[in-house]
């Protein structure tokens, strides 16, 4: 006669409850430290009702004034994406253990990229504006600095997870690391590189729309102008235009990425 054992509750259940309790405590303490108060939110919510209504009523007559800044934003995003992709591609191989056998060089590249990635693009744009002046150039440079660090991070991780069999076979035949990477690794990583570059283009459209708040060109300068004079109907139109452009780019890039990574 066989006996059927009853299913036992997972012994790790108490750990999950403990983790949840710790996270809840940390959240409450953090909320308390920053002075969070739900009462203030409820009491002051009505103060923004008229602004919310204005943001739902775009001023379409303002559209001609947005065309120039919108095109400048798109140019900034495209230029920054193209330049950063060209710089990041070779750096990605230097930032990966799979393709760079030199420990000191690997550590140096990764450290520099970590520092660049840690600096907010809005902060770097503000510094660059003080260096090269107001306009699209400091915005493009700020985007390039941040984009290179992001692309290098993503592609170097993809390289670390790649199949190194073809590379090892090439090295076994007498090829150098550079020759083996070019012949065996580059063809395999190009689709992922293109996909990440398209993703960075999406990020750049959003970011370049904000960098103008510190004088770095694009729609941000126009946003700062209309916001300063509380012209929320015009601000609503600008937000709508950014939304449409981002959705179109995201849709197209998603389709391309699916084809590349299929």
Contact 97, 106 (CB under 8 A): yes
Whether residues 173 and 222 share a domain: the answer is yes
pLDDT at 81: 92
Contact 66, 241 (CB under 8 A): yes
Please report, to the nearest 10 degrees, the dihedral formed by the alpha carbons of residues 193, 121, 100, 155 taken in order.
Answer: -20
pLDDT at 225: 84
Whether residues 43 and 119 share a domain: the answer is no
Whether residues 111 and 193 share a domain: the answer is yes
pLDDT at 23: 92
Rounded to whole angstroms, the maximal C-alpha distance in the chain is 87
Question: Taken in order 213, 215, 221, 226, is the CA torsion positive or negative?
Answer: positive
Q: Is 63 helix (H, G, I), strand (E, B) or coil?
A: helix
Q: How far is CA 64 from CA 67, 227, 236, in A?
A: 6, 18, 14
pTM for the whole thing? 0.76
pLDDT at 262: 63
Whether residues 133 and 240 share a domain: the answer is yes
* Structural domains of the chain, count: 2
Q: Is residue 254 part of a domain?
A: yes
Whether residues 66 and 32 share a domain: the answer is no
Residue 218 CA to residue 204 CA, distance in Å, equals 11
pLDDT at 132: 86
Whether residues 163 and 64 share a domain: the answer is yes
Q: Is residue 106 part of a domain?
A: yes
Taking 70 as the pLDDT cut, the residues of the chain under it are 1-12, 46-47, 260-262
pLDDT at 158: 85
Whether residues 34 and 114 share a domain: the answer is no
Whether residues 32 and 155 share a domain: the answer is no
Residue-number span of the structural domain to which 145 is assigned: 60-261
Residue 22 CA to residue 19 CA, distance in Å, equals 5
> Around Cβ 232, how many Cβ atoms within 10 Å?
21
Q: Is residue 8 part of a domain?
A: no
Whether residues 31 and 64 share a domain: the answer is no
Whether residues 217 and 178 share a domain: the answer is yes
Q: Is residue 4 part of a domain?
A: no
Whether residues 20 and 132 share a domain: the answer is no
Rounded (5°) CA angle 228-232-236: 125
CATH of the domain at 154: 1.10.3720.10
Contact 176, 130 (CB under 8 A): no
Contact 162, 189 (CB under 8 A): yes
Q: Is residue 251 part of a domain?
A: yes
pLDDT at 176: 73
Whether residues 103 and 216 share a domain: the answer is yes
């Amino acid at each position: 006669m066989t006996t059927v054992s009853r299913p036992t509750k997972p012994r790790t259940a108490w750990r999950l409850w403990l983790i949840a309790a710790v996270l809840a405590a940390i959240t409450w303490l953090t909320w308390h430290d920053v002075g969070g108060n739900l009462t203030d939110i409820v009491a002051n919510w009505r103060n923004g009702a008229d602004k919310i209504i204005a943001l739902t009523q775009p001023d379409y007559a303002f559209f001609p004034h947005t065309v120039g800044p919108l095109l400048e934003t798109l140019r900034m995003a495209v230029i920054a994406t193209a330049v950063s992709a060209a710089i990041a591609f070779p750096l990605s191989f230097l930032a990966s253990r799979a393709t760079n056998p030199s420990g000191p060089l690997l550590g140096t590249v990764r450290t520099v990229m970590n520092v660049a990635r840690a600096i907010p693009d809005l902060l770097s744009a503000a510094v660059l504006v003080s260096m090269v002046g107001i306009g699209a150039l400091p915005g493009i440079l700020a985007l390039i600095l941040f984009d290179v660090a992001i692309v290098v991070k993503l592609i170097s991780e993809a390289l670390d997870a790649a199949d190194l069999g073809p590379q090892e076979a090439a090295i076994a035949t007498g090829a150098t690391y550079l020759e083996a990477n070019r012949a065996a690794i580059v063809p395999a990583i190009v689709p992922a590189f293109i996909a990440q570059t398209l993703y960075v283009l999406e990020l750049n459209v959003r970011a370049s729309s904000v960098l103008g708040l510190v004088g770095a060109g694009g729609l941000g300068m126009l946003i700062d102008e209309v916001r300063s004079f509380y012209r929320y109907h015009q601000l609503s139109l600008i937000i709508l235009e950014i939304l449409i452009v981002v959705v179109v780019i995201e849709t197209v890039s998603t389709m391309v990425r699916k084809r590349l990574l299929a």
